[in-house]
Structure 1
Amino acid sequence: MATSMVKGNPMKLMLQFAFPLLIGNLLQQTYNIIDAAIVGQTLGPEALASVGASSSVQFLVLGFCMGSCTGFSVPVAKYFGAGKLDKMRDYIFNGAALAVLIAAILTTLCSLLCAPILHLLSVPSDIFADAYAYQLVIFLGIPFSILYNYLSSILRAVGDSRTPFLFLAFSAILNIFLDLFCIIILHLGCAGAAIATISAQAISGLLCLFFISRKVKLLLPTKENRTLRKDAAQELLAMGIPTGLQFSITAIGSMVMQSANNGLGSVYVSAFTAAMKIKQFMMCPFDAISTAASVFCSQNLGAGQAKRIRQGLRQGVLVGVGYGAFAGVIMILFGLPLTKLFIVSSAFEAINASAKYLRCLGFFYWMLGILNVCRMVTQGLGYSGRAVFSGVMEMLARTIVCLGFVGAFGFTAICFADQAAWLAACCYIAPTCLYCVKKSTKMIADRGAK
């Protein structure tokens, strides 16, 4: 059901919105973790390394898809908050057309360039074949990823985070059985894990499409709305492309980081893969909190509620930092046993390296509360171009650490690359977000004076 966030207690509204989104994100990461656990425990650490050797390029491509879809939903949230439903539907149709175009371009390019990408990442020769099979299937499934992310972003833009969660929950459970079927019964190896993941995403997207067509008629473009409009496309691209690039630019730094780590050997590839699964799982609440703050501020921008925008930012950051401190303690104290979920107990060197990476992250994890909320609120207020530079700061910091220090300090430098990126991005995005809030407040005041 669509839910307006322009009236009522800001904290309560954001937490109500964030909770199903959080559970959905946790479920999504859970089936990613199950992928890794099944691969690592049944096929061995080399297969786990094959699945994880290209995770940064997946983030580069799929992050662009997710970011673009999120950006396309910002005008939808704004016009929904303003009560301009006919205009909202114009943007939904034009956003769908752009999403189809992006899916076609990315699927073609990425599939053709799969092997060169893996060579660029310095994937070790002993795991290259499995890494290629896994990555190619993921690339061929890009349209399904875009289908789910676009439709779920539209639902969230109008305040419905519960429905995407329910569909994701169903597909996550299905993915577990598909993993076991494809890997253990059909013996498809690493490619089987990718097939299971893509199948689950496809089902989530189709369920969202079915639900919107039957239950959320206000989101269905009418015949009058189904027209390609230059002004709508320009506004959507102005929001979607920078948001997508922000994800991708961040991923470039991660690719440099992963390439440097891959060069240390398959032991550290396995360690890094296991640690990244845990790190991504622990990041789910940040995504939920920051998305809730972004949608809240975007709707209230459309409704001309300047005070509520400031409240949304302040309370979102408070919740994010609090969670980050808690999650950091978990990673510091329990990094070793968590790692053993993915790596067989006999692989002592890989287990210890993964636990070390998690301990180093834990002391700085609270910074992500500031970074994610400020970045998403900046995007939600319509300043995607400014938010992109936080990704640039992350990329530069990771690149400097990896190129400048891995040669001398090895895996220890890898363990501190993320923290350097977060600090650099926070120094930029926090004051930028405050400036954008101030600018939006002035725009609302000027609009009210007319």
Structure 2
Amino acid sequence: MKKRASAIDFTTGSIWKLPLLYFLPVLAGGLFQQLYATVDAVILGQFAMAGGLVLSAVCVAAAPLGLRLMSVPNDVYPLALGYVQIYFAGLAVSMVYNICAGILRAVGDSRTPFCILAVSGAANVGLDLLFVAAWGMSAPGAALATVLAQGLSAALALVVLVRRQAAYRLSLGRLRFDRAVLGKIFTIGLPMALQSVLYPISNMTVQAAVNQTGTDNIVAWALCGKLDFLIWLAADSFAAAVATFVAQNYGAGQGERCQKGVRIGLGMTLAVIIFISAILFLWSEPLGHLILNPADAPIAGVTGRLMRLMAPLYFLYVFGEVFAGAIRGQGESLRPMVITLLGTCATRVLWIWLVPHNHQLLAILAVYPVSWAVTSLAFTIYYHLFRDHTKVRT
């Protein structure tokens, strides 16, 4: 069958060029996803600024109990509760899109998910303006706009897979469970799913400690999350590119090309992260003013101080992401999960529980670079041991 032009074959061609062709649409698609949250924050900032920013930090809470356990201040609790109840009602459609996008990216097609996100991102902006700015629905309106936009992206992704003439074409009438395939999916996917569940719990523990330092600090830290999203987006996108590159070449028995691709991917990721970090170090405070209401301008100063602390240390995150992607690309998901849970989740929880911080924001947030360093060191050591093992196999 003729390969579609949108799919990328990583087993031949320039190792430098191919990851970039895959990375750029994934990055751009992630930008549109982040646009959902950023537009929510900007629009809410003009009608409910503090609550809107807090919502981005507590959106993983599924019920009032979760919000109470995180010590969400009473002045923003009603907005947070309304947001998460609507947001979690739409998780099913988000899951449909992510599965469909994962199928497309696995065959090297990162362009189609980007185009879908571009359309749904534009729809989300329009719905935000309608629900929040025009109809005054505040935080619940922002959540509803996001859910409807995610529903649109899920529908478009399904249409693409149903109409695509390829081996992975989706036939809705033939949907059924296959025990053997389902077992393989669980073997690889269950550890990653468990990691995805436990990872936010550790962050909730940190957020709960931040929430006890005052509303201004909550807003400042939430604003940092609006500014440094490019760090996580770029690192995760390059890690996905490395994982796909390794998966295709590992399957083709090209072990040396796998290793070279990982080295090049690591170098490219570091270069991009250092560049973004420099921008955040120099201009985080002016960028903060673009989101904040003028009345909340002093919070931008707190945000600037936090970002000047964090920006020089973001590079520590890179090694763990890239090496984890390389390991998963070879079909190993259990051990990366264990390393992540111990290096990241356990470190953060133990830091909050055991290290005295006396409700000092900087002492609390120091847990992030510490956990990045621990996790990256563990993945670096394990990857080189794992790589030597697979080198014999290939």
TM-score, normalization by structure 1: 0.82
Residues 405-414 or 221-230, more deviating: 221-230
Q: Which residue of 2 aligns with 1:434?
A: 384
Q: Which residue of 2 aligns with 1:43?
A: 48
Unmatched 5+ stretches in structure 1: 59-109, 445-450
Q: Which residue of 2 aligns with 1:414?
A: 364
Q: Does 1:180 align with 2:113?
A: no
TM-fit CA distance, 1:17:
0.9
TM-fit CA distance, 1:350:
2.4
Kept in 2, the 8 Å contact 1:390–1:426? The answer is no
Q: Which residue of 1 aligns with 2:144?
A: 195
Report the number of matched residues.
388
Q: Does 1:239 align with 2:188?
A: yes
Q: Which residue of 1 aligns with 2:346?
A: 396
Match of 2:29 among 3, 24, 27: 24
Match of 1:254 among 186, 203, 214: 203
Residue identity opposite 1:12 in structure 2: K
Residue identity opposite 1:26 in structure 2: L
Q: Which residue of 1 aligns with 2:80?
A: 131
Q: Does 1:305 align with 2:254?
A: yes
Q: Which has the higher contact order (CA 8 A, sep 6+)?
A: 1
Q: How big is each residue's C-alpha offset from its partner over 1:244-269, in whole Å with a ceiling of 9 and x where there is no partner?
A: 22233332221111000011122111
Partners of 2:325 and 2:349 in 1: CA distance: 23
Q: Which residue of 2 aligns with 1:7?
A: 12
SS of alignment partner, residue 126 of structure 1 = coil
Partners of 1:191 and 1:223 in 2: CA distance: 33
Q: Which residue of 1 aligns with 2:3?
A: none
Residue identity opposite 1:14 in structure 2: P
Partners of 1:40 and 1:429 in 2: CA distance: 39
Residues 212-221 or 144-153, more deviating: 212-221
Residues 398-407 or 118-127, more deviating: 398-407
Kept in 2, the 8 Å contact 1:406–1:412? The answer is no
Q: Which residue of 1 aligns with 2:117?
A: 168
SS of alignment partner, residue 130 of structure 1 = helix
Unmatched 5+ stretches in structure 2: 1-5
Residues 171-180 or 34-43, more deviating: 34-43
SS of alignment partner, residue 339 of structure 1 = helix
Distance 1:253 1:386, change over 3 A: same
Partners of 2:90 and 2:356 in 1: CA distance: 34
Counterpart mapping for 1:65-144 below 5 A: 110=62, 114-144=63-93
Residue identity opposite 1:425 in structure 2: T
Distance 1:422 1:140, change over 3 A: same
Partners of 1:381 and 1:169 in 2: CA distance: 31
SS of alignment partner, residue 2 of structure 1 = coil
Q: How big is each residue's C-alpha offset from its partner over 1:217-257, in whole Å with a ceiling of 9 and x where there is no partner?
A: 32125699755232221211111111122233332221111
Distance 1:306 1:53, change over 3 A: closer
Residue identity opposite 1:417 in structure 2: V
Kept in 2, the 8 Å contact 1:46–1:266? The answer is no
Q: Which residue of 2 aligns with 1:64?
A: none
Higher share in helix: 1
Q: How big is each residue's C-alpha offset from its partner over 1:110-159, in whole Å with a ceiling of 9 and x where there is no partner?
A: 4xxx1111111111122111111000111101011101110001000001
Counterpart mapping for 1:145-160 below 5 A: 145-160=94-109
- Percent of counterpart pairs with the same letter? 27
Residue identity opposite 1:236 in structure 2: I
Partners of 1:53 and 1:26 in 2: CA distance: 18
TM-fit CA distance, 1:324:
1.6
